[in-house]
Amino acid sequence: MMGPAHSLSGAAAWLGVGAVADALDRPMPWPVLVVGALICAGAALAPDLDHKSATISRAFGPLSRWLCMVIEKLSCAVYKATRMSGDPRRAGGHRTLTHTWLWAVAMGAGFAAFAMLGGRWAVLGILFVHMVLAVEGLLWRAARVSSDVLVWMLGATSAWILADILNKPGNGADWLFTAPGQEYLWLGLPIVLGALVHDLGDAITVSGCPVLWPIPVGSRRWYPLGTPKPMRFKAGSWVEAQVLMPGFMLVGGLSGLWAVGFLG
């Protein structure tokens, strides 16, 4: 799928988690619901850091372009080192390492530890990165005609405001993980979810997605998991724009209303 659909699916997924949490009597404070949805929307763009034309690869100027080059080369090297007899030879690293469950979990765990151990500035950094990506994904039309600096300023301002809101008692810094020193540990969850939702979104397109790696399937370690081929579509096709994106908005809206108690 393309960036806007990935971001919408990420936001809808976190709002769905909010509805489930409410049903299980572990409701999210509204700042956790909002911040988690925005982080998940941004994280749902992150696996495409292995592609030079992706939104995330352009979002932070030279830094993200350089990081894209590094990640693409790393992904290609890992693919070549771990492929089995049934995996085809390939020159690039797109849709390999960063499109796996293991990468998603590693990113979530890494960011969670960073947030928990790094204090306020670590939280601000995580929020800034994901707010910028959320703006790029959810407000793509406005972001494309704006300068990068304006998007970064919006991301920084949003991160500062949201960090202050979360830090107030009862607003969710310690949601789900309540032991002393575990504040903001939950920030890793929308990051994991966003990456996995991205992978599942790619799995319903023509190429499929090797989300199961490194678990082998038959003679392939990079098996492109996906729906039955007649049910797949090309990224950016009318199915994505006219069916999936409105569906994500509807599901996300209903889930959000449930999570805050309007429908429960």
User: Per residue of the chain (264 residues), what is the pLDDT tens digit?
Assistant: 687 899 999 999 999 999 999 999 889 999 999 999 999 999 999 999 999 888 899 889 999 999 999 999 999 999 999 999 999 998 888 899 999 999 999 999 999 999 999 989 999 999 999 999 999 988 866 656 567 788 899 999 999 999 999 999 888 889 988 888 888 999 999 999 999 999 999 999 888 999 999 999 999 999 999 888 888 888 777 888 888 889 999 999 999 999 988 875
**The pLDDT value given to residue 228:** 87
**The pLDDT value given to residue 263:** 75
* Farthest CA pair distance, the chain: 55
**The pLDDT value given to residue 207:** 86
d(CA 185, CA 252): 24
Burial of 168 (0-12, 13-18, 19+ CB in 10 A): exposed
> Is there a contact between 258 and 21 (Cβ–Cβ < 8 Å)?
no
**The pLDDT value given to residue 242:** 87
> Is there a contact between 205 and 234 (Cβ–Cβ < 8 Å)?
yes
Q: Where are the domains of the chain?
A: 2-260
d(CA 239, CA 231): 11
**The pLDDT value given to residue 264:** 59
Provide the H-helix boundaries in 83-182. 101-138, 140-145, 148-167
**The pLDDT value given to residue 146:** 66
**The pLDDT value given to residue 142:** 62
